[in-house]
Structure formats: C-alpha cells, structure tokens
Chain A
Amino acid sequence: MKTFIVPENIAISDSGFIFLPSTGETFTLNELGKQIFKLLQAKKTIEEISSEILKEYDIDTLTLERDIEDFILRLKSLNLVTQV
C-alpha cells in the first residue's frame, strides 16, 4: 500500500491555491484536485482516497485509482508530495 507525504511547509487555501515557500512557485488545483490533495495531507492511501471520491462520483474504481496515481505522479514531479 503506497502512502505519501505532503511536506509540512506546503499549505493549500480553500480556493485550491498552493504556495511552495522554498521556491516561490504557485499552483492552482480544481475542486477534485484540492479534495485529493487534502486527503494526501491527511496521509490517506490511494485506496482510501478512492473510496472517499467514489462516495460522490459515479466512476469505476480501476479508472479512478489510475487517475489518482497519474495525479500523484504529477504532484511528485512538482515536489508537492513525496512517497514513503
């Protein structure tokens, strides 16, 4: 089971705006991205995130988990999460 860590100094606002204080970079997430990011901050696994999202969206689990993995891969490339 993969778990991820969002560095402590990264904060996300209610509007989905992320500021990386060590580099000055900023990012904007949409509603779903923000929801997933906050779940990652709460140290949830992909499976746990997926079951949260499935409560609200009508999508098959496999596609959803693949999309979440893609999204996390993008976050990792931007140094917004690290994998444990």
Chain B
Amino acid sequence: MKIAITGLNATDNPGPGVPVIRSLRHSKEFDGEIIGFIYDVLEPGIYMENLTRKNYLIPYPSSGLENLYERLAYIQQQEKIDVIIPTLDSELFGFVKLEDKLKELGIKMFLPSFEQLNIRAKDKLFDFCTDNNIYVPKNILVSSVLDLHKIPEEFDYPVVVKGIFYDAYIVNNLEEAKTAFLKISSKWGLPIIVQEFLKGDEFNVVALGDGTGMTVGAVAMRKLYITDKGKGWAGITIFDNNLIEISKKVIESIKWRSGMELEFIKSSETGQYYLLEINPRFPAWVYLAPNAGQNLPYALLQLALGKKVEQFDKYNVGTIFVRSSWDLFTDISVLEKITTKGEI
C-alpha cells in the first residue's frame, strides 16, 4: 500500500505532514510505503532519514488545477498510490475539486465536502455557532478601512483583526486597526474579520469525523509553550468533558468528514469555552493524539480505504509533547536532483 502525504514543511510554522507520517508509523498494523508531496525543494521532511521512500514536487493548486492533476497523473503512473492525505488548508479546495478524477486513477482520499468546508470558514463561523448554541466571540466583517470606524459601535478595544485565511493582530485603537487591516488585506484579501477580544486560556482539540456525524476520536490539549509566531512548541493533553462535548456537537452538526482542529478560548470572565476557529485538517501537533492513545491519522487512513473504524472513548491525560529543532545535513547533489528532476 502506498500513501502520499503533503505538508512536509517542518519549520517553525510546521505543516502537519511529518507528524501524520509519524502517527501512521506509530500503528503496529501499518506496513505501507510513504510518498512525500512537496511544494518547495527545502521542505525539511524530504531530508529526514527514512521518513518517506520517495518525494515529488507538486504545483500549488493556485497555479491551476489542471497542472496539479497532470502532475498527479504522472506520479500515479510511476507509483500506483492508494491514498493521498492532503494536510494543508490552502490545498484542500483543490484536492476536493479533484476528488472524483483522482478516484478514477485509483487514488482514495477522505475529505470534507465544499459545503462542510464553507460552513466552518472564518467568515461563516459566527452564524454556525449561533445556530448551534455554541459560544463564539462576536465579530463583524469589514471590506474597507472606512468600515473600521464602526468598531466602537460593536465592541470595546482591544479587538482582534483577522484575515479570512491566516494572520491575526490584537489592536488597541483605530490607527492600529487600520495598519492591521492593510497588512492582512494586501496579503490575504478581503473581507477582514474584526472580532471581540476575549481574555482567557487557549485550548485546542484534534478530532476526526467519519462523515455521518460520528466523532471517531477527540483529544484536547493546552499549549504549554507558545512561540512568538503564536505556535505551540509544547503542549499537554487535558480532559474537560465540556470541551469534548462541544467538539462532538460541531462534528455532528456539520457531519464532518476528515480530521480537524478546533481552537477554543476559555473566558476568564464567564468560564465558558468560546469557539475561535475550526481548521479543516489535522494540526501539526497531531502526533500527540496517538501518543495519548488515539491514533486519529491511522483511523483516517482506514476510513479512506473504506474500512470500518472503532470509536475511541478515552485517552491519557498528562501526555506532553515538546518540539525541538534539529539540523539536517546533506550533499548539494540531493538539492540538485529534487530541483532539476522534481523527484527524489
């Protein structure tokens, strides 16, 4: 069996590819081969020993789906891949669009639908949560700098200014809001989300939905160490039934079909969990889940292969992950090969 995985960018803003591969290998039942799909020749995953058997450069979906499809069709002729697990937000729409065509090539995936992807989008999350009685920070969508003048009518400063895909800044006044608006909109486009700022601790849940409304598993984590980019560099599994139940409710309402990460803040004022974001893929800390007793990536692989999976009902609380950075060394010929041939 051959599994292709994207997101091998194990940098200080890591993609989930490497931890998904480590999770699959964590399972004693796994005996497949791993193929790496990369967008950049310096994605660290391809330089790690024994992580992948072979790696292929693929074009970004934004460069045209036809290009991506042609590349995948070529790779399929060489490799006969059984399953692709895309792990990055930015490529998901492309892979969802190509799902049927890739199926014809014999490639299976386990992805959400367009509708499901749209429901959890940042600009739709407020309505979804309100409809489902889930606490969510108030927000407004703005499309011009002039709209920012409405902020005091809706909230008190500070507020959070967020991009539709990435980036967020906490701002304390109109001037800071304008700067954040321009920075984000020039990079990620419009609209911009202005969100109520809540004080409290952040909690994250990694989960897997089977597409029928069932939660295959869900593991909650609190970040113990956060980098200056806001990324968790260490974390610990925790258990609060309330947090897991909200996550299950989300999966049941959307009938989520894939891995996901839910980001919450527990308000220090009200003690309630507010849902900040639903990321439509496993997070980079997903390898914590198998180490705590729920191998969600391996379960996703089983679902992609059309197999039945058992629901996980518990996990170990107090399991800790700590990231480290580790230099890898290689010869120029390796870089030459991947750059000129697009595969290694």
Contact = CB atoms under 8 A, between A and B. Distances in A.
A15 to B, nearest CB: 15
Contacts of A21: 238-239, 317-318
Contacts of A23: 201, 222, 238, 240, 266
A22 B240 contact: yes
B270 to A, nearest CB: 15
Contacts of A19: 318
A55 to B, nearest CB: 34
Nearest to B237: A24
B224 interface: yes
Contacts of A24: 221-222, 224, 235-238
Nearest to B242: A22
Q: From DSSP, what is the main secondary structure of chain A's interface residues?
A: loop
A21 B236 CA distance: 9
Interface in B172-217: 201
A8 B235 CA distance: 23
Contacts of B266: 23
Interface string B293-317: 0000000000000000000000001
Contacts of B237: 24
A19 B319 CA distance: 11
A5 to B, nearest CB: 18
Nearest to A24: B222
Of the candidates A19, A21, A23, A24, the one having the most CB atoms from chain B within 10 angstroms of its own CB is: A24
B43 to A, nearest CB: 31
Interface of A: 19, 21-24
Given A21-B318, A24-B236, 9 more contacts: A21-B317, A22-B239, A22-B240, A23-B201, A23-B222, A23-B266, A24-B221, A24-B237, A24-B238
20 contacts: A19-B318, A21-B238, A21-B239, A21-B317, A21-B318, A22-B238, A22-B239, A22-B240, A23-B201, A23-B222, A23-B238, A23-B240, A23-B266, A24-B221, A24-B222, A24-B224, A24-B235, A24-B236, A24-B237, A24-B238
